[in-house]
Amino acid sequence: MSTTDAAPVQHAPAENVRPWLTLWLLSAGHAVNHAQAALLPLVYLAIIVEFEVGVAAVAFLAAIGNISAGSLQIAYGWLTRLFSRRSIMAVGGLVFGGGMAAQALAPGFAAFAAANVVSRVGGSPQHPVGNGLLSEQFPPHRRGFAIAAHIAGGNLGTVAVPLVGLALIEAIGWRWTVVLFGLPAIVVALAIWRLIGESGVDRAAARAYGSVRSAYAAVLRDRDLLLVYASAVLGGGGRGLGVLNVFVPIYLSIGLGLDTPTVGLMYAVLVVGSVPGPIVAGWLSDRLGRRLLIVATYLAGAASLALFVLAGADLPMLWLAIVLMSIFNFVESPQLQALLADIASRDLRDAAFAAYFTLAFGIGSLWVLLYGAVIEGLGETAGLPLTFWLMALAFVAAAMAVLPIRVRERLAGAKAADAGHAS
């Protein structure tokens, strides 16, 4: 039976759909997600010693987790036709928190890696499904802020982690620390299941469009969407979370030999900008346009990465580079997602987001694998600085991919299509 033959979607009453409550709960879940992502680099430093593994092994684990979680996201274009976004988010949160806590039971690196990857897979609905839900519930003139707030809410979970996480690891060990960070994900997942309302309008439009295959085919024929995807994949080379936050503490600690308190403080400053930066950028992009802001932040982020390497062991220059990366390297991704929400039609929105995050965090995660191979091949002394030069080049290429996107034409077309749906 085709998707068009499926039973009609039951729409929730308007009073049960509360966009701001949805945003608060999704942001809370995202905060837990990012808190764990920010904690893991500190846990990696501990297991490198305990399990007697090298930096390359940790880089490969991070890459495998990114690829596994990223490649699964293509399935959400299909799953969102069968299940509510709310239920997908809730189940994912339970797996995410459970996998994080299960790392504590690992007797060695292999078991730790398995639980780590399971947890990463459980967190995979956060971006495609969560952003799809926000795009459905918020109008276009508030969408940039809503998606940016969702991302910033996630980044809020990273701010205190470098200092609090480091203190917890030193006080109670990394095993109990990962348990403490896993439990909130389970609590938030249950709250999402119980409290979020969902209209099902996008799901009805997606089913009416045709098969899942035809939806993905339409997405992959869309020139502007492909340019957004190309920018996301290239930008993954220097993205703040998942790439930069993995290699910065390793470079500072192993590459430059800085002491642990200094590394922890620099890491804290690095992630501080990930909270206000996306919110300010979202507010600006709703008013000034997304393309200009995305290109500017890409280029500024590339410059900050270059300064980070050129600074060497010069502490004042290192601090300046850390501050600049904190401002610019966490901004591009939420605005690319808002741009995608603007130009993708309602009936293709879930498929467009699923393809985006599959490419951005699946294929884009191959950057971490590349960096691990560079470090393994050249050694940590030469390989670690080179990775940051590669990140800077990736950001410049990502900026170039955004320039040809026909933003104004697509916004006008999306507005007309939404008016047609409303009528």
Domains of the chain: 14-422 (1.20.1250.20)
Sign of the dihedral through C-alpha 234, 356, 33, 133 = positive
User: Could you report the average pLDDT of every consecutive run of 10 residues in the chain (423 residues)?
Assistant: 38 63 85 82 84 79 78 78 86 90 88 90 85 80 78 73 79 89 90 82 74 84 91 88 82 87 85 79 80 92 94 91 90 85 81 81 74 86 90 94 82 59 50
C-alpha span between 279 and 156 (Å, rounded): 11
If you search the block for the tokens 């997942």, which residue do you land on? 189
Q: For residue 228, give both structure tokens.
A: 């957004």
**What pLDDT does 160 receive?**
63
Q: Which residue type is seen at 210? A: G
What is the model's pLDDT at position 302? 95
pLDDT value for 411: 66
pLDDT at 332: 84
Q: How many CB atoms lie within 10 A of CB 259?
A: 9
pLDDT tens digit sequence for 323-342: 999 889 888 888 888 888 88
Instruction: Summarize pLDDT for 144-189 with one digit per residue, the tens.
Output: 778 878 877 777 776 767 668 878 888 898 899 989 888 989 899 9
pLDDT of the residue at 5? 36
Rounded Cα gap, residues 251 and 313, in angstroms: 11
Structure tokens at 280: 């300010």
CA distance 76 to 70: 11
Please say whether the dihedral angle defined by the alpha carbons of residues 319, 320, 325 and 326, taken in this order, is positive or negative: positive
Tokens of 302: 């590339």
What single-letter amino acid sits at 204?
A: A
Alpha carbon distance 257, 262 (integer Å): 10
Annotate the chain with three-state secondary structure.
CCHHHCCCCCCCCHHHCCHHHHHHHHHHHHHHHHHHHHHHHHHHHHHHHHCCCCHHHHHHHHHHHHHHHHHHHHHHHHHHHHCCHHHHHHHHHHHHHHHHHHHHHCCCHHHHHHHHHHHHHHCCCCCHHHHHHHHHHCCHHHHHHHHHHHHHHHHHHHHCHHHHHHHHHHHHHHHHHHHHHHHHHHHHHHHHHHHCCCCCHHHHHHHHHCCHHHHHHHHHCCHHHHHHHHHHHHHCCCCHHHHHHHHHHHHHHHHCCCCHHHHHHHHHHHHHCCCHHHHHHHHHHHHHCHHHHHHHHHHHHHHHHHHHHHCCCCHHHHHHHHHHHHHHCCCHHHHHHHHHHHHCCHHHHHHHHHHHHHHHHHHCCHHHHHHHHHHHHHCHHHHHHHHHHHHHHHHHHHHHHHCCCCHHHHHHHHHHHHHHHHC
* Distance between first and last Cα of the chain: 29
Nearest alpha carbon to residue 22 among 103, 113, 129, 123: 129
pTM comes to 0.69
Residue 104 and residue 173: Cα distance in Å, rounded? 10
347 Cβ neighbours under 8 A, 6+ residues apart: 202, 205, 206, 208, 209, 215
Reference 73, options 86, 59, 88, 60; nearest CA is 88
